[in-house]
Amino acid sequence: YKEMLMYLPFEHWSPRYEATFFSVKIDSRIRLESPPPSDNIKWNRKKNPAVYYEVQVLRGNERAVCPRRFSDFVWLYKELLRLPLKPGDLKGMNIPPKTWFFQAQDEEFIETRQNELYDFLRDILRRPGYAMHPAVLSFLEL
């Protein structure tokens, strides 16, 4: 593992905290015709237009934005289920359901999904040890 990192909920976050602490926030999204640039090839999979939820990662005085599609959150969910820290410690963890290709994705739907994905991410990070899970570190580019 990398250095030990500790998650703080955004409402308790302050830039005065040293780089040992981090927080996340999702309060915006963008619709792109092609994937945003990324140093990590894992997050550059699909080319079609999509909604990217802007996951802000705050650590010390730094702020990074990790644009993530819904499918990236699904990847994180599956990785955590595949490699839990302890059997049964992911009970109650839920990800919003997928949509069908004919289902309208209007602004209200997208905002609701954004809030549900933020709740999902906060739920993971509040579980003991999961802030340092390799899949979480990769997802947040920490």
C-alpha 77/C-alpha 120 separation (Å) is 9
Write out pLDDT tens, residues 117-130: 999 999 999 999 99
**pTM of the entire structure?**
0.86
Residue 30 sits at φ, ψ, to 5 deg, of -140, 150
Instruction: Judge whether 60 and 19 are in contact, CB under 8 Å.
Output: yes
Does residue 50 register a pLDDT over 50?
yes
Which amino acid is located at 21 in the chain?
Answer: F
Within the chain, where are the H helices? 70-82, 107-126, 134-139
What's the pLDDT at 34? 73
Domain locations in the chain as residue ranges: 6-139
Name the fold adopted by 6-139. Answer: PX Domain (3.30.1520)
Write out pLDDT tens, residues 19-38: 899 999 999 998 887 777 66
Expressed in angstroms, the distance from the first to the final Cα of the chain is: 11
